[in-house]
Amino acid sequence: MTDPHLVLRLYASLWKNRPINSIEMMNTSIMSDLYDENTHPRLRRTPEEKYMITRQLICDSELTPEQQRLLNDYIKVIYEQTFNK
């Protein structure tokens, strides 16, 4: 089982401009990203596109491959549970 506090630290390291201090805030931020809520409605991407963009962001980060895997796995679970994939 992945330590959620480790995932929180890894996720927060990707978003220096976002104050993410709790697991609930992290999950809310992930969902907001997947729904593309910070984009104008006419320009929003699908959750599938946003999921792939998020995965690419993680892969392009300076996190170690193991850290990238942990974070990607966590986001994948949220994505699959939310969108029944």
Cα separation of 48 and 53, whole Å? 9
pLDDT tens figures, 43-84:
999 999 999 999 999 999 999 999 999 999 999 999 999 998
Q: How many CB atoms lie within 10 A of CB 42?
A: 5
Task: Show me where the domains of the chain are located.
Answer: 4-83
| Whole-number pLDDT of residue 80 | 95
Cα separation of 77 and 12, whole Å? 18
Q: 8 CB contacts (<8 Å, ≥6 apart)? A: 20, 22, 23, 26
